[in-house]
Structure 1
Amino acid sequence: MTPDTCWSDLRDSAQALKPRHLSELLSDTRRFDALTFEHDGLLLDLSRQRLLPETLDQLVALAEACQLQQKINDLISGKPVNCTEGRAALHTALRTPAGKSLSLNGEDIVVGVQSTLAKMEALVTTLHSGQWRGYSGEAIDTVVNIGVGGSDLGPLMTCRALSDFKPKAAQGIELHFVSSMDGSQLSGLLSRLNPATTLFVLSSKSFTTIDTLANAATARQWLVDASSLDTEVILRHHFIGITAQPEKASEWGIPSQNQLLFWDWTGGRYSMWSAIGLPIAISIGMEGFRQLLDGAHSIDSHFHQAPLRENLPVLLALVGIWNINLLDIHAHAILPYDGRLAHLPAYLEQLEMESNGKSVRLDGSATQGHTCPVLWGEIGPNAQHAFYQLLHQGTESVMCDFIVPAKRYTDRGQELQQQHRLALANCLAQARVLALGDKALDDDSASAAPPWKRYRGNQPSTVILLDELTPYALGQLIAVYEHKVYTQAVIWGINPFDQWGVELGKKMATAMLDELDNPGLSGSLDCATSGLLQRINTLREQG
């Protein structure tokens, strides 16, 4: 069967299903069992999606027609799936256990990965033991991660999500994250930190990112001013550099013993599994970090080996394809019902929109339909008081992902366990009302309510249920979304691993710096930009 035939069959199915409300579909008592899938403690509930079990069969046929299994093999084996940059995308190798091998350009890259993990472990052990000393001889008790994009979002999200898993040795170390290029985060932070006991982790794949290097230069000068010591001494005691360009880190002044390597086949938004995850390892220990890797590897193996019809990342991706391309739904809300996952929506925004926000196919032609939807989200209870009004009674169709652990506070008091029960109740109730609308009520009062109190329902949602939120489970969850993104890219025929739109913005911003200092330098700016530059420079001259 060709992709065109599959698309035609799916359009026919969508047309037939559009008039059917989710309340009707959910009246089938067999539906939950037919549309719920599980792997290694992670449950994917698709029963509130506006489709039938046979719709999944048609979607799997589309995936097969697009040669998805071969594309998965290509990804895992290190083929250059990032075709516009001519390289592999081997974030899966970063969580491959020791003892296995994977050759890339004649080199066993798993050996290199394990070597970096060993160096990470040595650095973490030195910090946790109090043996990493600042310029005054005092033990480091504060770590500031300086990065942007994937060098910030992944470590920040994970450290917050796994804050319950700090080992005793890590509890005396305060951890901060700085990413804003305007200096606002760093300025407020430096005013209350002790320079003698602060270590900066400078994370930049290229070691040319202006945002990151500007913050790093400010931090370096702060230390020099506080200590009156040579820059070389300061860098040796107070900076770790993480990069794919070690020679550039050395030029900046970070000694090799303070450098951690990652590779150009690791995309920034897939880099938390690499040395970029050093803040995670500092926060939860290397044992916890390895559990995170193990959870992701569990999903890697499942994605590679499980039949497509039982494959969690594939099914999540195909349901997204159904909603976006067949039901014309182009908004996607990420709704975790656990406060520890507060930064997950922002992380997934980058993962999905930077990867699949593309309108050009691999062959250079324009895409024929929609690709990545607009993602946003918030912790569920906060979102209920912010934008659920739109979900329940607005004019937009929105697909939602509810993410919740079944268990929490099992070793704590009854009051905290009751609070988790409240979160579970709200999660399940909101998914139910979004699906059923007024029909969720057990009485006939809804039909008599005025129009402004009516709920139409029929908003599709997925529930992802974790047993518990642990390092292993979080590794699984993130890997599911990573492989979902790749699967959708295969179906759409786009490259999820480049980001040329981001690169253009960086290039233009660098050029604009010269314009700010020398207005009219290029003589080729549009009138809107020229007008703003003139106003800005007038205000700056006025002081």
Structure 2
Amino acid sequence: MSLPKIDPTSTVTWNKLQAHFQSVKEIQMKDLFAQDKERANKLTVQWEDFYVDYSKNRLTEETLSLLYQLAKEVKLDEAIQSFFSGEIINETENRAVLHTALRANKSDQICVDEKDIIPNITEVKKQIERFSAQIINGSKKGFTGKAFTDVVNIGIGGSDLGPSMVVGSLEYYKNHLNTHFVSNIDGDHVNEIIKKLNPETTLFVIVSKTFSTQETLTNANTIKDWFLSKNSNANQETVSKHFVAVSTNIEKAKNFGIDESNIFPIWDWVGGRFSLWSAVGLSISLSVGFENFTKLLLGANKMDAHFKSEAFDKNIPVILALISVWYNNFFNSETEAVIPYSQYLNRFSIYLQQSFMESNGKSVDRNGKPISYQTGSVIWGQPGTNSQHAFFQLIHQGTKLIPADFIGFTESLHGNNIHQDRLISNFIAQTEALLNGKTKEDVLKELEAQSLSSEEIKKLMSFKVFEGNKPTNTIFIKKLTPESLGKLIAMYEHKIFVQGIVWNIFSFDQFGVELGKQLAGKILKEVKNNTFVNHDASTLNLLQYYKNLT
């Protein structure tokens, strides 16, 4: 069974939503709270250690009812079943989409091409567990007999963003190994990393599904040359003690010098930006231990079960996705901010940028026709309270409507309650300030208290008014643990899926990523040969300018 191919704008509910929008577009959230004293309780979901408050949004119960009807009319329930059952929902690449299988229970049975894939997944997990234990406990050593002290993950895109985000987010749980990430093809980047390393005690993890990704292989070869040059006793055989690979291309990895027993397989039904749950997460297991890696998978599996079985009006990913559609397609809001109030999650928004924008940045629907409505959201953000001193000015007083997710934890990991109380006070206060703003009356009282003249008050008045009515979702989680992080990541993965179903797009290909890479390969040959053909005038000028200075 393929995914449904329903243009959302052709549905009865979409037309109802358009008419409904005209009646509520100027609505004030403060009025909604005043009219319904139970609004905050009604528009929350409490699930395990998650408490999701979506009451501070420009929507009514009728809005939500219509959004749930839209989800039913585009057959979201059928799409969810197709997703989890291993059907070929990535139709443009003729693949199933089964990153959820990577965190499934061992007793589950999930088939691809009529073959149960769970035993293979279980075997790779055992391989990750064994290898991680040997590196962490020091029984597996480098070529000079020294235990490893550092791990370098070499990858790009999903082979970097997911693992690096999780390792940073779980720093509290880290062991003694120092973990580094090399991604950018910029030579300065890789050299800044390796200049700090001891080649005798460093393990390198090359993550490339095809073992042909230009950026990853360029960095891997640069590091390999450095490794061989740093010790006269090092040779191609010693490479196998320090380099491992996560790849489907066993022959290319072996030709690089990697022992076949140190090649960790992945499968074509795992998309790069959803691959941290696979052997791509090897650096996670090395950093925090396999037990914590397993807890990460467990959390994601729990969110999978919630998403798969819960009714739409209590389903966290469904609710968040439909609210996002409401702002994107009816308010024409083009961006969404994600603000985690935890410094540990300082790379979380960066990770989500790829997940959302590479998945749903599409302009052709599942029927192959051009799309006449908005798809995708520009995702951005950084941790609070830093963001309050950066871009919050735009959210509060700018001309753009920017819905925001606020993510906070009720417990501090280090137990510093003075800091935590101040952090959470800011966390909650910002959502209240975005809701209520500051009226002219409030500003007047504030300025009069400063004993300013009437002329000064008149001059400053308009600059200090905040219109408020800025929408937010608040996601409160008890504590940042490997399990709760797994739930959080999976929650956003499923939000992406729901959006893609509503927008009638294929979320799991990324052909737009490939065009620039193809052109880069052509231009690189021309740069080496100093011969440039078939370029526009601007590109030709830029190439000639570069060559003249090198």
Superposition TM-score, scaled by structure 1 size: 0.95
* Change in CA separation of 1:440 and 1:380 when aligned onto 2, cut-off 3 Å: farther
Counterpart amino acid of 1:485?
I
Q: Distance in 1 between matches of 2:233 and 2:440?
A: 69
| Conserved 8 A contact 1:223-1:234 | no
Q: Distance in 2 between matches of 1:56 and 1:451?
A: 35
* Change in CA separation of 1:439 and 1:165 when aligned onto 2, cut-off 3 Å: farther
Q: Distance in 1 between matches of 2:411 and 2:60?
A: 30
Q: Distance in 2 between matches of 1:58 and 1:440?
A: 35
The answer for the alignment partner of 2:426 in structure 1 is 426
| Of 191, 195, 198, the match for 2:199 | 195
Give CA deviations for 1:96-126 in whole Å, capped at 9, x if unaligned. 0212221111221111111000000000010
* Change in CA separation of 1:441 and 1:47 when aligned onto 2, cut-off 3 Å: farther
* Change in CA separation of 1:440 and 1:21 when aligned onto 2, cut-off 3 Å: farther
Task: Kindly state the Cα deviation for residue 89 of structure 1 after the two structures are TM-superposed.
Answer: 0.6
Q: Does 1:513 align with 2:520?
A: no
Give CA deviations for 1:266-305 in whole Å, capped at 9, x if unaligned. 0000000000111111111111111100000001111111
Give CA deviations for 1:50-75 in whole Å, capped at 9, x if unaligned. 00122111101000000000000000
| Of 146, 152, 161, the match for 1:144 | 152
Q: Distance in 2 between matches of 1:161 and 1:460?
A: 26
Where do residues 13-412 of structure 1 align in structure 2 (5 Å cutoff)?
A: 13-27=20-34, 28-166=36-174, 170-171=175-176, 173-229=177-233, 231-409=235-413, 412=415
Unaligned runs of 5+ in 2: 1-5, 448-456
Give CA deviations for 1:21-42 in whole Å, capped at 9, x if unaligned. 1221222321111110122211
Q: Secondary structure at the match of 1:464?
A: strand
* Change in CA separation of 1:516 and 1:404 when aligned onto 2, cut-off 3 Å: same
Task: Kindly state the Cα deviation for residue 229 of structure 1 after the two structures are TM-superposed.
Answer: 4.0
Counterpart amino acid of 1:198?
T
Counterpart amino acid of 1:238?
H
Equivalenced residue count is: 531
Counterpart amino acid of 2:44?
T
Counterpart amino acid of 1:532?
L
Q: Secondary structure at the match of 1:273?
A: coil
| Conserved 8 A contact 1:296-1:475 | yes
Q: Secondary structure at the match of 2:344?
A: helix
Give CA deviations for 1:402-443 in whole Å, capped at 9, x if unaligned. 01111114x63xxx2111111111111111111111159979
| Conserved 8 A contact 1:432-1:440 | no
Task: Kindly state the Cα deviation for residue 177 of structure 1 after the two structures are TM-superposed.
Answer: 0.8
Cα RMSD for the two superposed structures? 1.7
* Change in CA separation of 1:436 and 1:86 when aligned onto 2, cut-off 3 Å: same
Q: Distance in 2 between matches of 1:333 and 1:201?
A: 32
Counterpart amino acid of 1:499?
Q
Q: Distance in 2 between matches of 1:138 and 1:230?
A: 14
| Of 474, 489, 492, the match for 2:503 | 492
Q: Does 1:537 align with 2:541?
A: no
Give CA deviations for 1:302-333 in whole Å, capped at 9, x if unaligned. 11111112111111100000010111111111
The answer for the alignment partner of 2:454 in structure 1 is none
| Of 494, 501, 522, the match for 2:512 | 501
Q: Does 1:10 align with 2:17?
A: yes
Q: Distance in 2 between matches of 1:29 and 1:163?
A: 41
Task: Kindly state the Cα deviation for residue 244 of structure 1 after the two structures are TM-superposed.
Answer: 2.3
| Conserved 8 A contact 2:407-2:474 | yes
Larger mean Cα displacement after TM superposition, 267-276 or 9-18: 9-18
Q: Does 1:469 align with 2:480?
A: yes
| Conserved 8 A contact 1:295-1:472 | yes
Q: Distance in 1 between matches of 2:439 and 2:307?
A: 37
Counterpart amino acid of 1:445?
K
| Conserved 8 A contact 1:317-1:488 | yes
Counterpart amino acid of 1:18?
K
Task: Kindly state the Cα deviation for residue 218 of structure 1 after the two structures are TM-superposed.
Answer: 0.9
| Conserved 8 A contact 1:37-1:45 | yes
Counterpart amino acid of 1:120?
I
Q: Distance in 2 between matches of 1:436 and 1:450?
A: 17
Give CA deviations for 1:365-411 in whole Å, capped at 9, x if unaligned. 111210112111011111111111111111111110101111114x6
| Conserved 8 A contact 2:440-2:461 | no
| Conserved 8 A contact 2:58-2:471 | yes
Q: Does 1:455 align with 2:466?
A: yes
| Conserved 8 A contact 2:88-2:96 | yes
| Conserved 8 A contact 2:443-2:461 | no
| Conserved 8 A contact 1:446-1:454 | no
* Change in CA separation of 1:519 and 1:98 when aligned onto 2, cut-off 3 Å: same
Unaligned runs of 5+ in 1: none
| Conserved 8 A contact 2:439-2:465 | no
Counterpart amino acid of 1:517?
K
Q: Distance in 2 between matches of 1:248 and 1:106?
A: 29
Counterpart amino acid of 2:492?
Y
* Change in CA separation of 1:442 and 1:453 when aligned onto 2, cut-off 3 Å: closer
* Change in CA separation of 1:53 and 1:16 when aligned onto 2, cut-off 3 Å: same
Task: Kindly state the Cα deviation for residue 20 of structure 1 after the two structures are TM-superposed.
Answer: 1.3
The answer for the alignment partner of 1:528 in structure 2 is 538
Q: Secondary structure at the match of 2:276?
A: helix
Q: Distance in 1 between matches of 2:540 and 2:341?
A: 46
Task: Kindly state the Cα deviation for residue 530 of structure 1 after the two structures are TM-superposed.
Answer: 0.7
| Conserved 8 A contact 1:23-1:439 | no
Larger mean Cα displacement after TM superposition, 225-234 or 456-465: 225-234
* Change in CA separation of 1:485 and 1:537 when aligned onto 2, cut-off 3 Å: same
